[in-house]
Amino acid sequence: MSRVPVTVVIIARNEERNIDDCLASVSGWANEILVVDDGSTDRTVELARRRGARVLQRRMVTEGSHRNWAYSQSANQWVFSLDADERLTPALCAEIDTVLGAGTTHTHFTVPRKNFLGSYWMRWGGQYPAAQVKLLMKDHFRWEDTGVHPRAEAGGTTCGHLKEFMLHYTYRDFTEALRKLNGQTTLEARKWFNVRATDKRKADGKMNLGCMLWRALDRFFRAYVGRQGWRDGFIGFMMAYQGSLYQVISYAKYWEMVNLNEQAPQG
């Protein structure tokens, strides 16, 4: 068990392919494992309970508010926010024990991640170390209440940075990468459509053809050239292209919502 009590919180939906290995990476270390299930129709819940996790079921409306609610259900102040396609390593668990055991003034910590496509570790193009806030004190940290890519809201507190990496099996293959791209761009478009309802000037200033083209080009060249994505070969090209395509497809879906649908479709 961790020297300072830590709850691992996992947000899951139809993750039977990943959940067992994910839970195995924290079993025996986490003082509590909490899986918040978003209406899975596969064996996710069964497998989680078999591993000894406490399972709560709740429908996700927006990612930010869903994660905040999940953290609030933990029995411990320190929370490690883990996705089903991520794995902790023994070295990272040991580092967390050392840092928390020694006492810290930080309320949250970033963790570097090794991102994989299949078995290939993507080292370039901004894919590594790609650190994210993962370890946090639930009463001093929250995510922005938005549906996709929420920002951290931890005003007046300080962030530490852990050195040991975790593993992130981002995509099984290009098919899964494109499937995730489709879902994320729908959420991005819907987010800006909802912004438009209260602040049309802001939405029009951010979501227009010129801005989309600039961001698409900037994303590609920043990842492929500036961050040397070319060193990952064709995979590096595809990841840079996907970052560019994210901008194009998000705008296309937003344009469609504004000009054709008149209301954002619900997912």
Interval 104-162: pLDDT, tens: 999 999 999 999 999 999 999 999 999 999 999 999 998 888 767 788 887 778 999 99
Checking if the pLDDT of 266 tops 70, the result is no
Secondary structure E strands in 70-129: 78-83, 86-87, 108-111, 113-117, 120-121
Q: Coil, strand or helix: which one is 159?
A: strand
Q: In this predicted structure, what is the pLDDT of residue 264?
A: 54
- pTM for this structure? 0.90
Chain-centre distance for alpha carbon 73:
19
Average pLDDT over the chain reads 94
Give the separation between CA 224 and CA 167, rounded to whole angstroms: 22
The conformation of residue 262, written as its DSSP 8-state character, comes to S
DSSP calls for 206-236: HSSHHHHHHHHHHHHHIIIIIT-GGGGHHHH
pLDDT band at 2 (very low <50, low <70, confident <90, very high): confident
Give the separation between CA 68 and CA 74, rounded to whole angstroms: 11
What is the rounded average pLDDT of the residues 222-248?
Answer: 98
pLDDT tens by residue, 55-83: 999 999 888 999 999 999 999 999 999 99
Q: In this predicted structure, what is the pLDDT of residue 150?
A: 82
**CATH number assigned to the domain covering 6-170:** 3.90.550.10
